[in-house]
Chain A
Amino acid sequence: MKEEELIQKAQVGESWAFGALYDAYLPKIYRFIFVKVSRKSDAEDLTHQVFLNAWEHIRSYRFQGFPFSSWLYKIAHNAVIDFYRTSKNPMSLELVSESSLGEVPDAFDEVNQKLNLVMTKTALLKLKPDEQSILLMKFVDDLSNKEIAKALGKNEGAVRVTQHRALKQLKLYLNDTIRPNNTTETA
Chain B
Amino acid sequence: MIQYDPITQLKQLKKIEPDSKFAEKSRLFLLSQKPSFSISYLFSSRKSLVLTGSFVGLTVILLLLSPILFTTQNPTLSSLDNSTKLNQELNNLSINIELKEISYKRSANQTITAAITEISNTQTKHLNPSILNSESKMLDPFKNNQDNSDNIDKLLEKVIF
A residues with a Cβ closer than 8 A to B are: 11, 13, 15-16, 18-19, 22-23, 26-27, 30-31, 34-35, 40, 44, 47-48, 51-52, 55-62, 105, 107-108, 113, 116-117, 119-120, 123-124, 135-136, 139-140, 167, 170-171, 174-175, 185, 187
Binds A, one of B7-15, B77-85, B91-99: B7-15
Inside 8 A of B36's CB, which chain A residues have their CB? 56
Q: Closest B residue to A170 by CB, please name it.
A: B6
Asked if A116 and B41 sit within 8 Å, CB to CB, the answer is no
Shortest Cβ distance from B56 into chain A, in angstroms? 19
Does any Cβ of A come within 8 Å of B125's Cβ? no
Asked if A18 and B30 sit within 8 Å, CB to CB, the answer is yes
Q: How far is the CA of A59 from the CA of B17 in the complex (A)?
A: 28
Asked if B44 and A11 sit within 8 Å, CB to CB, the answer is yes
Shortest Cβ distance from B47 into chain A, in angstroms? 10
Asked if A51 and B30 sit within 8 Å, CB to CB, the answer is yes
B: number of interface residues (CB 8 Å): 35
Asked if A35 and B16 sit within 8 Å, CB to CB, the answer is yes
Q: How far is the CA of A174 from the CA of B136 in the complex (A)?
A: 147
Q: Closest B residue to A8 by CB, please name it.
A: B45
Partner of B35, one of A57, A124, A139, A187: A57
Partner of A51, one of B3, B11, B26: B26
Partner of B17, one of A19, A23, A27: A27
Q: List 9 A-B contacts (CB under 8 A).
A: A16-B31, A35-B16, A44-B18, A55-B30, A59-B40, A59-B44, A107-B17, A174-B9, A175-B4
Asked if A13 and B44 sit within 8 Å, CB to CB, the answer is no
Shortest Cβ distance from A73 into chain B, in angstroms? 15
Shortest Cβ distance from B43 into chain A, in angstroms? 9
B residues with a Cβ closer than 8 A to A are: 1-7, 9-19, 22-23, 26-27, 29-31, 33-38, 40-41, 44-45
Inside 8 A of B33's CB, which chain A residues have their CB? 52, 55-56
Asked if A171 and B6 sit within 8 Å, CB to CB, the answer is yes
Q: How far is the CA of A13 from the CA of B32 in the complex (A)?
A: 11
Q: How far is the CA of A23 from the CA of B18 in the complex (A)?
A: 11
Partner of A107, one of B3, B10, B16, B29: B16
Asked if B18 and A47 sit within 8 Å, CB to CB, the answer is yes
Q: Closest B residue to A60 by CB, please name it.
A: B40
Shortest Cβ distance from B128 into chain A, in angstroms? 101
Asked if A105 and B17 sit within 8 Å, CB to CB, the answer is yes
Asked if B35 and A120 sit within 8 Å, CB to CB, the answer is no
Shortest Cβ distance from B67 into chain A, in angstroms? 38
Q: Closest B residue to A49 by CB, please name it.
A: B26
Q: Which 8 A-B pairs have the closest CB atoms?
A: A59-B41, A30-B18, A139-B10, A174-B4, A170-B6, A107-B15, A15-B31, A31-B16
Given contacts A19-B27, A19-B31, A185-B2, contact A59 B37 (CB under 8 A): yes
Inside 8 A of A26's CB, which chain B residues have their CB? 18, 23, 26-27
